[in-house]
Chains A and B, each alone.
Chain A
Amino acid sequence: MSTASDTPQMVDSNGTRAIAAGNTRPFFWSVKREIWEHRSVWIAPLAAAGVVLFGFALRTFHLPHLLRQAQTLEPGMRDAAMAAPFAFAAGAILLTSTIVAFFYCLGALNNERRDRSILFWKSLPVSDATTVMSKAFIPFVVLPLTAFAVALVTQLIMLLLGSAILLASGIQPATLWQHWPLPHMIVVMLYVVVINVLWSAPIYGWLLMVSSWARRMPFLWAVLPWLGLAVFEKIATDTSYVWSFLAYRFKGAMIEGFAPTADHHHHKFMSISDVTSALAPGHFLSTPGLWLGLLAGAIFIAAAIYIRRTREPG
């Protein structure tokens, strides 16, 4: 390494110094920087997985008993009962990462102004568009993918754990695998992750815009105007359009992304095969709320870029 400074910095044994002129990747490094700063991006889903697995581990001791009990149920009910813990595990992990995404967005463009580190970021040749897009990349891509991967691994661990317990009690674990087919669960989880991200685009965009606009307390600025509007509407006209609009924006993906099924109301949980057959991507893609939401998300993010570009930093 002692001669490294004498030679051109193109080649290096460990590769870290090989970045030379024309070989910079501002977007890649900006995303990486976000992950360095916000470790909750991967810690929170892992923590959720830990809680889920711990709970499941306690539960597995009853698994042989539960399975025997399940045999007495009618097939549909049994499938649903078997699938429930897996669906619940995935749901908990995806919900956790969604909550992380909300708070990430609120801080993303606000913290850098509050600690004035924006002055350092702006001293480097990284455009405001690259910076804001790299921050948007976290809730739109990194968090959903992380949550998906963590949920998938968690479910595999649950399957293996369950199988081990069943084998130890002399029961064939095939029943368990049969109720939770791997390809199906991958498809369903990916589908849920993707439709939720697309549907949430205006929420993330709004939060990013407020984060870049508000001087302080971005959470209040992001939430209170909507609540105020809803309360005002309720008092002034005794209607609740604003409230339904908001509720639809939060729940809409799960409503528009699935075909209503007859069974849905009778069972507490749906079996995985019911869920798979209820996927309705065509209907989801033809919902106006999706495209209006994406448009609004794009406008909010463009506004966030504009605000970061034009406002005096520091």
Chain B
Amino acid sequence: MPCIEARGLRKSFGATKALDGVDLKIEEGRILGIIGPNGAGKSTLLNAVLGLIPYDGDLSVLGINPWSARNTLMRDVCFIADVAVLPRWMRVRHALDYVAGVHPKFDRDRAEALLARTQIKKTSKVRELSKGMVTQLHLALVMAIDAKLLVLDEPTLGLDLLYRKQFYDTLLNDYFDHRRTIVVTTHQVEEIEQILTDLMFINHGRIVLDCSMEDFQSRYVELTPRPEHLGEARSLKPFNERQSLGRSILLFESAEREWLAALGDIRTPSIADVFVATMSPPAQGGVS
């Protein structure tokens, strides 16, 4: 059973189509990164998956309809929807008490063990914690819940580099176990690049790329041709060209690596490079 399956998922806000026919299938045990510009429909997609908004089309999460069976779903699904949304008046120990009191799959000892690794005091109020510490607290609460699906919507926005790195390290080392599924959206693509198993680009409410990271790495090649081979390289129809330090860098999709290697240096592009190339209008690429 796929963890999330959608067919023809649509959602409009007035005249704006936030989701314009999304089809997707996410298997269990994957870590999916959803990348898209602001307003692309990422949060709307996640809100639909979490049963927070009604939608049109078919959507099934862990085999159930997230809108009509939301209360059942939330026992197996966890999310961090935004940074620092923990109630500011709450004390850390109250947060532990409350989640322990309402969540059947919360392991309080585990949450306390995770908190013990931080500087957070149990008597502190959330408003007294730094933004990074609030995120640590939220992550400790979420990681102590034995959920099947964890959804993270910009979980590290506004955090400094150390907290961001620690966030994903903790998640990967102490939480992910190949039975759980994690869906994450972020603008800081480079930080999650190493942990993803799957990748999705979304723009204008549509999925524009949906592949595993293995596919991604074999599919895209970046070539920095030697100047004398630039014309030849361009004739092979790169789908994007950019300038860096006075040299042209060409991005190819589904090209023969051996041929390209003969023309210059090749490497696997970063997600960010492919993302920018995919989202940019093709005209400026200088394609022959």
Contacts and interface: CB of A to CB of B under 8 A. Distances in A.
A123 B89 CA distance: 18
A120 B74 contact: no
Interface in A232-262: none
Contacts of A25: 101-102
A126 B106 CA distance: 14
Given A5-B110, A17-B108, A123-B80, A26 B85 contact: no
A36 B88 CA distance: 12
Interface in A154-187: none
B79 interface: yes
Interface string B83-104: 0011111110010011111111
A124 B91 CA distance: 17
Interface string A283-314: 00000000000000000000000000010111
Contact of B87 (A26, A37, A126): A37
Interface in A60-118: 112, 115-117
Contacts of A28: 101
B158 interface: no
B102 A22 contact: no
A120 B86 contact: yes
Given A116-B85, A120-B85, A314-B82, A19 B108 contact: yes
Interface stretch (B46-54, B187-195, B222-230): B46-54
A123 B74 contact: yes
A26 B103 CA distance: 8
B81 A123 contact: yes
B105 interface: yes
A26 B102 contact: yes
B205 to A, nearest CB: 15
Nearest to B108: A17
A5 B98 contact: no
A25 B103 CA distance: 9
A85 B114 CA distance: 56
A16 interface: yes
Contact of A24 (B50, B91, B101, B107): B101
A19 B100 contact: yes
B97 A312 contact: no
Nearest to B88: A115
Contacts of B88: 115, 117
B113 interface: yes
Contacts of B19: none
B104 A21 contact: yes
B35 interface: no
B54 A17 contact: no
A277 interface: no
B102 A123 contact: no
15 contacts: A9-B107, A16-B108, A17-B109, A21-B105, A22-B104, A24-B104, A29-B97, A29-B98, A33-B98, A112-B87, A116-B82, A120-B86, A122-B50, A125-B104, A314-B81
Contacts of B54: 310
B104 A5 contact: no
Interface string A25-50: 11011101100110000000000000
Interface of A: 4-5, 9, 16-17, 19, 21-26, 28-30, 32-33, 36-37, 112, 115-117, 119-120, 122-127, 310, 312-314
B79 A123 contact: yes
A123 B78 contact: yes
B71 interface: yes
B109 A4 contact: yes
B156 to A, nearest CB: 16
Contacts of A9: 107-109
Contacts of B142: 123
3 closest A-B pairs by CB: A29-B101, A119-B81, A117-B87
B82 A117 contact: no
A127 B101 contact: no
Contacts of B70: 127
A5 B109 contact: yes
Given A5-B113, A29-B97, A125 B75 contact: yes
A28 B101 CA distance: 8
A259 B54 CA distance: 52
A312 B109 contact: no
Contact of A117 (B78, B86, B99, B104): B86
A16 B101 CA distance: 10
A24 B113 contact: no
Contacts of B99: 124
B45 to A, nearest CB: 13
